[in-house]
Chain A
Amino acid sequence: MLYVTIALFALAVGLFALHLFWAKARGWVWKAVAVLGGAMLPAGAYFGLSWAPSEQDMGEVYRIIFVHVPMVWAALLALVVNFVASAAYLFKRSWTSDSLGEAGAEVGVVFGVVGLLLGSIWGRPTWGVWWDWDPRLTTTAIMLVLYTGYLALRKFVDDPEKRATWSAVVGVIAAVDLPIVWFSVRWWKSIHQVQSNPKTIDRSMFVVLVFNVVAFMCALFVYLWHRFLIAKAARAREVALPSALPPAGPQEAA
């Protein structure tokens, strides 16, 4: 199980790297990632539900960790993508980084909201409440509201260039919250448990967790890539870049 997980992890990272550095492969890499993720998600659910041992205090309830943690990690990763794209836009204007920022924020908010709901469902049987004003939960909620504001800003500004600049500024400022979310469980010792790693959870659970994380990263990648293509197409339509116009037909040539 351990070696299979490591191999799948390496395969996924390899595919991401291939996509990033080899432009020609972008037509098919996402399909390979989608197949990999599509196969790993049900397998991960099976391993999480039956293969991993039950937890000594929480019993079977803890198994929600295998979707909650990958979901929130994926959300954080998508928002980091938004930050990188925003910063890149401020250094050098390009519709690519603007579109990537839009994709990162939207996918991040969706994953984050689902992750938060899953955490809430987990909190009810273990903590006795749906919501607690714990630093981790509070900072995550602030993060989601911040990026909802970012998305609202994008909707409220019609000029594409101004929208791109201003939302990049907001993306950079909002990213201040991301490290606070990540380190909140270490800075303030509170009810939420710290990040899962082999020291804090059993090794058999950790392997299943990593397996699910890889599966969710594949899903995140496919979502991000498609949201990015949609955003880029919308930008191309808005600003009517010369390369986005249809090739001159016979009636125009005449």
Chain B
Amino acid sequence: MSASFAIRPIGLLRAAGIILGKDLLIEWRTRARINALVFFAVATLLLFSFALGPDVDLLRQNAAGYMWLGILFASVLSLSESFRVEAENATLEGLKLVPTDPRAVFLGKACGNAVMIFALCLILLPVMVAIYDVSIAEGLPKLSLVLAIGCLAISAPGTIFAAISANARARDVLLPLLLFPMLVPALLSVVKATALVLQGDLQDSLRSWLGLLCCFSVIYWALGFAVFPKVIED
């Protein structure tokens, strides 16, 4: 009888899955964050076209870059929110007390952020197609793949830096200050890959840009996984 009450540590992946489920459930119950993100990102896309004037060719040519800038700006809001909800009732302390690897918190949070940003991408895509008048030359499956890897590349360093800046002074300034320069290589490759998918990949260079993007994602995730326990420890 007593054996069934013994506390058993939960496995890393299972704990990460539980945290991911918890975050998505919280999000699903209010849907406040995704609404704010979508409006913010759509407004950013519109602002780009207002700033440049109604030059359709120019907008079509640069659509990938504008879309990723919109996603990047919106993702900063999403990332800082993901740790603000934990700070509100000091629930991060609770997560730290769970008898499992603290890396599970990183995996869960980073996956949650990736899902969030990917959902934003999918909502933004038809808007971009409509207002910038782009066509998807290489087809939707390839585009989804590029978008998904891009979201993964943003979410890992974003989660680390959000965890750091959530407790610092001037956190709204700090997160973009740390995150944007870190993401420049990933942003360059994801924008190039997206543009190739949209405009057609004549010289077969999509593979190399996608490889570079994957490479950055793997480095960011590995580093984040390794250092996260240090970030949240007391």
Residues of A within 8 A of B (CB): 90, 138-139, 142, 145-146, 148-150, 152-153, 156-158, 162, 165-166, 168-170, 172-174, 176-177, 180
Provide the bound-state CA to CA distance between A92 and B136, in Å.
Answer: 51
Interface centre among B161, B169, B178 (most CB of A within 10 A): B178
Provide the bound-state CA to CA distance between A157 and B164, in Å.
Answer: 10
A190 to chain B, nearest CB (A): 14
A168 contacts B223, C-beta separation under 8 Å: no
How big is the B interface, by class? 20 to 34
The proximity string for B residues 200-234 relative to A, scoring 1 for CB distances below 8 Å and 0 otherwise, is 00000000000000000001100110010011010
A162-B185 CB under 8 A given contacts A172-B227, A173-B157: no
B223 contacts A173, C-beta separation under 8 Å: yes
Does residue B182 face the partner (Cβ distance < 8 Å to A)? Answer: yes
B227 surroundings in chain A (CB, below 8 A):
90, 169, 172-173
Q: Which of B178, B224, B231 contacts A165 (CB 8 A)?
A: B231
B230 contacts A165, C-beta separation under 8 Å: yes
Does residue B20 face the partner (Cβ distance < 8 Å to A)? Answer: no
Which residues of B49-107 are within 8 A (CB) of A?
none
Q: In the complex, given contacts A166-B168, A172-B223, A173-B224, what are 18 additional A-B residue pairs having Cβ atoms less than 8 angstroms apart?
A: A139-B185, A146-B182, A149-B177, A152-B177, A153-B164, A153-B177, A153-B178, A156-B168, A156-B169, A157-B168, A165-B231, A166-B231, A170-B161, A172-B227, A173-B160, A173-B182, A173-B227, A176-B223
A48 to chain B, nearest CB (A): 33
B87 to chain A, nearest CB (A): 14
B230 contacts A180, C-beta separation under 8 Å: no
The proximity string for B residues 149-171 relative to A, scoring 1 for CB distances below 8 Å and 0 otherwise, is 00000000100110010011110
Closest 5 CB pairs of A and B: A145-B181, A146-B181, A149-B177, A166-B164, A149-B178
Nearest opposing residue in chain A for B170, CB measure: A156
B184 to chain A, nearest CB (A): 5
B184 surroundings in chain A (CB, below 8 A):
138, 142
Q: Is the interface of B mostly helix, strand, loop or mixed?
A: helix
Q: Which of A90, A148, A152, A174 contacts B174 (CB 8 A)?
A: A152
B174 contacts A169, C-beta separation under 8 Å: no
Provide the bound-state CA to CA distance between A180 and B186, in Å.
Answer: 13
* A/B pair count, beta carbons within 8 Å: 63
A157-B181 CB under 8 A given contacts A90-B230, A169-B160, A173-B157: no
Provide the bound-state CA to CA distance between A145 and B177, in Å.
Answer: 8
A177 surroundings in chain B (CB, below 8 A):
185
Q: Which of A139, A162, A169 contacts B167 (CB 8 A)?
A: A162
B157 surroundings in chain A (CB, below 8 A):
173
A98 to chain B, nearest CB (A): 13
B167 to chain A, nearest CB (A): 7
B181 contacts A158, C-beta separation under 8 Å: no
Nearest opposing residue in chain B for A170, CB measure: B178
Nearest opposing residue in chain A for B167, CB measure: A162
A170 surroundings in chain B (CB, below 8 A):
161, 164, 178
Nearest opposing residue in chain A for B227, CB measure: A169
Q: Which of A146, A150, A153, A169 contacts B230 (CB 8 A)?
A: A169
B230 contacts A168, C-beta separation under 8 Å: yes
A152 surroundings in chain B (CB, below 8 A):
173-174, 177
Q: Which of B164, B177, B185 contacts A169 (CB 8 A)?
A: B164
11 pairs, CB–CB < 8 Å, chain A vs chain B: A139-B185, A149-B178, A152-B174, A158-B169, A169-B160, A169-B164, A169-B231, A170-B178, A172-B223, A173-B182, A180-B185
